[in-house]
């Protein structure tokens, strides 16, 4: 491996948004599918000791990595099909997601404006099936190409084969660490239909209110994206000031009966529909309940006093208890210990197991 990859013992602190300082034994930039395929075919990659990193915005590194870290640097955006109603684009998986959203809405294309300012790469979008404010990546996803890390061959995965669900996909479960996504294709609309229904229990966190600051009707995709960006910046910490990976846990799904129980304990607890989303850890079909709702994990944590709470070098944002932050001096283990305490407190108080949205390595 040392003859193929010149960089050894590389600090990953600049490559993860929590600013955790761990070291990769080997480190390489991947700038094309052909480059990666050639390396795999030459025997230059041991799949058992490989980790793929994008922006590191959804990753908690808990220790030095005893293997190879590949940094995704595959770029490019091109239109591959267009008609009067829609446009289909092919995007390099290493492209910055927020920048891609800005590019798309500047063209007047719609379908991802509510996903503005979500940190990460385009390649991470299908893995996580990112979603926010009523939109999800699955709504625009067509298919993707990925390099088989065993054979080096490029394989195309359809939307159905990718198995996108609530903050998950086949690449986060069955196919985890077996493929490197190199190209993603999406279809965007030229006839926008906006969803601005998002609201919270705080009036100043309503998307419609922020939209009034961004422009006047008829709104454009860029207006919506600008409002979403403003709202996210208002609610979330500045990554230049603190270490953060955004929301640490996914919002839990509960039965309607469980929700009514929680309502008695948690004031102003909201619930949301879970249409088109499946939870990958729990088989709700065997609960005997006909209806499931999604509830905000942040509200449960807030009720238990976690908002703005610090333990050593790790805390939560003072406006969002779900958002774990650091002073950029914390070790990965410190962050893990802190989040385990959060999880334990919710389990003890409400009987709910919070599932990490962040990948822990």
What DSSP letter does each residue of 116-132 carry, written as one string? TT--SBTTHHHHHT-EE
Confidence tier at 275 by pLDDT (50, 70, 90): low
Give the CA radius of gyration of the chain. 21
Averaged pLDDT for residues 172-198: 93
Averaged pLDDT for residues 57-67: 96
Burial class (CB in 10 A: 0-12, 13-18, 19+), 255: middle
3-state secondary structure of 102: helix
Is 352 a residue whose pLDDT tops 80? yes
Cα 148–chain centre separation: 23
CA distances in angstroms from 31 to 11, 72, 92, 152, listed in the order given: 20, 7, 9, 15
Report the C-alpha gap between 46 and 1 in whole angstroms.
Answer: 9
* Residue 217 and residue 247 in one domain: no
* Residue 228 and residue 80 in one domain: yes
* Residue 190 and residue 282 in one domain: no
Residue 13 lies in a domain: yes
Report the C-alpha gap between 166 and 128 in whole angstroms.
Answer: 8
* Residue 208 and residue 103 in one domain: yes
Averaged pLDDT for residues 336-342: 99
Domains held by the chain: number: 3
* Residue 60 and residue 184 in one domain: no
Report the C-alpha gap between 172 and 14 in whole angstroms.
Answer: 24
Structure tokens belonging to residue 7? 């960089």
Please state the φ and ψ torsions of residue 21, each to the nearest 5 degrees.
Answer: -95, 90
Q: What is the pTM of this model?
A: 0.88
16: domain range? 7-72
Q: Are 142 and 187 in contact (CB under 8 A)?
A: yes
The yes-or-no answer on residue 48 being catalytic is no
* Residue 324 and residue 313 in one domain: yes
The residue among 294 and 46 whose pLDDT is bigger is 294
Which CATH number goes with the domain that contains 160? 3.30.465.10
Averaged pLDDT for residues 242-265: 94
Is 97 a residue whose pLDDT tops 60? yes
Q: What is the DSSP letter of 251?
A: P
Handedness of CA 167, 170, 175, 180 (dihedral sign): negative
Report the C-alpha gap between 15 and 293 in whole angstroms.
Answer: 36
Burial class (CB in 10 A: 0-12, 13-18, 19+), 335: buried
Q: What is the DSSP letter of 101?
A: H
* Residue 43 and residue 183 in one domain: no
Q: Which residues pair with 59 in a beta bridge?
A: 359
3-state secondary structure of 218: coil
Residue 165 lies in a domain: yes
Confidence tier at 199 by pLDDT (50, 70, 90): low
* Residue 67 and residue 84 in one domain: no
Which CATH number goes with the domain that contains 23? 3.30.43.10
Residue 201 lies in a domain: yes
Q: What is the DSSP string of 130-186?
A: -EETTEEGGGTEEEEEEEETTT--EEEEEHHHHT-BTTB-GGGTTTTTTEEEEEEEE
* Residue 269 and residue 344 in one domain: yes
Burial class (CB in 10 A: 0-12, 13-18, 19+), 293: middle
Report the C-alpha gap between 7 and 14 in whole angstroms.
Answer: 15
Confidence tier at 307 by pLDDT (50, 70, 90): very high
Q: Which residues pair with 144 in a beta bridge?
A: 157, 184
Cα 136–chain centre separation: 11
Which CATH number goes with the domain that contains 308? 3.90.78.10
Structure tokens belonging to residue 261? 């129980």
- Identify which of 315, 115, 130 has the alpha carbon closest to the alpha carbon of residue 198: 115
Active-site position among 138, 162, 167, 185: 167
The yes-or-no answer on residue 187 being catalytic is no
Report the C-alpha gap between 181 and 259 in whole angstroms.
Answer: 38
* Residue 222 and residue 107 in one domain: yes
* Mean pLDDT lowest among 22-26, 124-128, 171-175, 285-289: 285-289
* Residue 194 and residue 168 in one domain: yes
The yes-or-no answer on residue 167 being catalytic is yes
* Residue 188 and residue 87 in one domain: yes
Active-site position among 93, 169, 247, 331: 247
Question: Mean pLDDT score of the chain, rounded to an integer?
Answer: 91
Number of H helices, E strands in the chain: 9, 19
Is 277 a residue whose pLDDT tops 80? no
- pLDDT tens figures, 19-41: 999 999 999 999 999 999 888 88
Residue 1 lies in a domain: no
Is 265 a residue whose pLDDT tops 90? yes
């Amino acid at each position: 491996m040392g003859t193929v990859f010149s960089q050894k013992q590389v600090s990953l602190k600049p490559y993860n948004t929590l600013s955790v300082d761990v070291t990769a034994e080997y480190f390489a930039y991947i700038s094309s599918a052909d480059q990666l395929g050639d390396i795999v075919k030459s025997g230059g990659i041991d799949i058992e000791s490989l980790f793929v990193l994008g922006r590191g915005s959804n990753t908690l590194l808990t220790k030095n990595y005893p293997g190879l870290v590949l940094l995704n640097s595959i770029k490019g955006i091109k239109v591959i099909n267009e008609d009067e109603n829609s446009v289909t684009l092919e995007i390099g998986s290493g492209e910055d997601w927020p920048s891609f959203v800005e590019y798309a809405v500047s063209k007047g294309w719609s379908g991802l404006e509510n996903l503005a300012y979500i940190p990460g790469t385009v390649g991470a979008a299908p893995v996580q099936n990112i979603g926010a404010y009523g939109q999800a990546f699955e709504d625009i996803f067509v298919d993707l190409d990925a390099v088989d890390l065993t054979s080096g061959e490029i394989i195309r995965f359809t939307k159905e084969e990718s198995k996108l669900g609530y903050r998950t996909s086949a690449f986060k479960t069955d196919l985890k660490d077996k493929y490197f996504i190199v190209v993603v294709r999406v279809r965007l609309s030229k006839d926008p239909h906006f969803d601005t229904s998002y609201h919270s229990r705080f009036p100043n966190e309503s998307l419609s209110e922020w939209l009034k600051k961004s422009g006047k009707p008829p709104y454009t995709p860029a207006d919506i994206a600008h409002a979403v960006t403003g709202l996210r910046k208002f609610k979330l910490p500045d990554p230049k000031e603190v270490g953060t990976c955004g929301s640490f846990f996914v919002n839990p799904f509960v039965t309607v009966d469980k929700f009514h129980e929680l309502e008695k304990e948690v004031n102003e607890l909201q619930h949301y529909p879970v249409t088109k989303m499946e939870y990958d850890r729990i088989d709700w079909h065997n609960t005997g309940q006909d209806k499931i709702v999604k509830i905000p994990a942040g509200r449960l944590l807030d009720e238990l006093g976690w908002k703005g709470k610090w333990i050593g070098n790790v805390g939560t944002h003072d406006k969002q208890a779900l958002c774990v932050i650091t002073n950029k001096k914390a070790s990965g283990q410190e962050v893990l210990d802190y989040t385990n305490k959060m999880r334990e407190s919710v389990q003890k108080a409400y009987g709910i197991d919070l599932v990490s949205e962040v990948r822990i390595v």
